[in-house]
């Protein structure tokens, strides 16, 4: 049971994955969260990734493939996982295919989240992320129940992401657009791709996502 949630920054895949992992009892593997944790902890990986992330560029494929390869070996992935933010390029998708073949874990579905660019910019510019558990909120449209406090883990550590600054956001969206078509085509060719309209209320999008996963 391996699902890939594919979509531009701000498309809500991470937020959906948080609920989905509770329902399916398989972990969400967010490469963005993993890199941010590495930067926070000051590891070698974090040092390698920091410059790329700060500029809104992709971290080199080799680094990302190594990171996911190690993570997939952990015991909580025995029944599968939800990949959030990986793969983002065709070489990553090819490397993943090899890893999963070795582990005998086929991909069940790749769900591509479709959101208008204008909406993405508005979501990212107001986004606040819990630095403790990675949950996302929005200054206007998805405020936490208690001001400044995460609904999920209760920490008072809600922050704006460095790479959600307008000048970086533009580059992240362009970078994503450059790679998207090829990654989608790669999975369409394998009969694994489903696209969903990811605009609207959380529950609406969640039910479209569940529908697409069952197709």
The residues that are catalytic are: 13, 88, 127, 161, 172
Task: Please enumerate in sequence order all residues whose Cβ is within 8 A of that of 77, keeping only pairs 6 or more positions apart, or say none.
Answer: 26, 27, 29, 71
Residue 88 interacts with ligand AMP (CB under 6 A): yes or no: yes
String of contacts with ligand AMP for each residue 108-147, x by CB under 6 A: ----------------------------------------
- Shortest spacing between CB 115 and ligand AMP, in angstroms: 13
CA distance 24 to 17: 10
Nearest to 205 by CA among 1, 18, 2: 18
Q: State the DSSP code for 74.
A: S
- Nearer to ligand AMP among residue 128 and residue 147 (C-beta): 128
CB-based contact 126:141 (threshold 8 Å): yes
Instruction: Report the Cα 151 to chain-centroid distance in Å.
Output: 20
Which residue in the set 2, 5, 29, 53 belongs to the binding site for ligand AMP (CB under 6 A)? 53
Binding site residues, ligand AMP, CB under 6 A = 9, 31-32, 35, 52-53, 56-59, 64, 85-88, 92, 163, 172
């Amino acid at each position: 049971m391996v699902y890939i949630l594919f979509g531009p920054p701000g498309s809500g895949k991470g937020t959906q994955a948080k609920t989905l992992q509770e329902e399916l009892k398989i972990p969400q593997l967010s490469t963005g969260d993993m890199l941010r944790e590495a930067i926070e902890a000051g590891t070698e990986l974090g040092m390698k990734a920091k410059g790329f992330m700060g500029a809104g560029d992709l971290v080199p494929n080799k680094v990302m493939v190594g990171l996911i390869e190690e993570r997939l070996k952990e015991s909580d992935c025995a029944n599968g996982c939800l990949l959030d933010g990986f793969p983002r390029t065709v070489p990553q998708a090819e490397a993943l295919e090899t890893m999963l073949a070795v582990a005998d874990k086929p991909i069940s579905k790749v769900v591509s989240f479709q959101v208008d660019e204008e909406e993405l910019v508005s979501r990212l510019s107001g986004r606040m992320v819990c630095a403790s558990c990675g949950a996302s909120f929005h200054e206007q449209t998805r405020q936490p129940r208690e001001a400044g406090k995460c609904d999920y883990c209760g920490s008072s550590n809600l922050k704006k992401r460095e790479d959600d600054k307008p000048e970086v956001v533009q580059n992240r969206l362009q970078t994503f657009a450059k790679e998207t078509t090829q990654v989608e085509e790669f999975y369409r060719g394998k009969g694994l791709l489903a696209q969903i309209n990811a605009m609207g209320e959380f529950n609406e999008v969640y039910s479209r996502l569940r529908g697409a996963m069952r197709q």
